[in-house]
Amino acid sequence: MNKETHNGHTSIAERLSVLSQSSAHQVKALAESLLDDLGVIEVLENRTGLVMLPYTDSVQGITFNLGEVLIAEASVRLKDHDGVEGYGSCLGRDHVQALALALCDAALRAGIRADTITAFADARALELIAADQELLRQVETTRVNMETF
C-alpha cells in the first residue's frame, strides 16, 4: 500500500483506492452501516461505462491504451451536510458497489464516521498486502533461472 499522506494521515484517495479493491460485499455492508448518519442522499449518477486502460511498456517506458474496461460509477450529494459530494467506481457492472463507494467517499469528505471508514480501510489494506505477498511467493516458485539452463 502506498503511504500517500496529508497532514500525517492516509488521504481520502488512498482509503478509497483500498475500498475499491476490497470485497464488494464488505464495502456494501460498510455503506449500509453509514446510511442513518448521512441524512438525505441525492444520487447524481449511477451508470456503467467504458474507460481506456493505460499500460506502460516496461522496456521503453511508453504509455499506451491496452484496451477498454467496463466500469460502474456513481456520484452522490449529501443534502444535509452542505451538499458534500462523493464519487465511486469499480470494475464491472455492480451499480450497488459503485454507489457504496460513492457514499463512503462523501462520508469521508463530510467527516461522518471517518474513524469507522478509516479502520475498515486499514484492515482491508493489510489483507490486500498479505494477498499480494502470497501471490508474489507463488509466482517466485515458478521463476526459471536462465543461468542454470
Give pLDDT tens digits for 85-109: 999 999 999 999 999 999 999 999 9
Specify if 118 maps to a domain.
Answer: yes
Q: What is the pLDDT of residue 5?
A: 40
Q: What is the pLDDT of residue 58?
A: 86
From the list 121, 123, 96, the residue with the least C-alpha distance to 18 is 121
CA 89 to chain centre: 8
Specify if 128 maps to a domain.
Answer: yes
Specify if 79 maps to a domain.
Answer: yes
Q: What is the rounded distance in angstroms from the CA atom of residue 118 to the CA atom of residue 108?
A: 9
Domain count, the chain: 1
pLDDT < 50 stretches in the chain: 1-8
Q: What is the pLDDT of residue 149?
A: 57
E runs forming strands in 27-107: 41-56, 63-78, 84-91
Give the Cβ contact number of residue 149 at 10 Å.
5
Q: Which domain holds residue 28?
A: 9-142
Q: What is the pLDDT of residue 2?
A: 40
Q: What is the rounded distance in angstroms from the CA atom of residue 24 to the CA atom of residue 100?
A: 9
Specify if 148 maps to a domain.
Answer: no
Specify if 27 maps to a domain.
Answer: yes
Q: What is the pLDDT of residue 12?
A: 86
Specify if 4 maps to a domain.
Answer: no
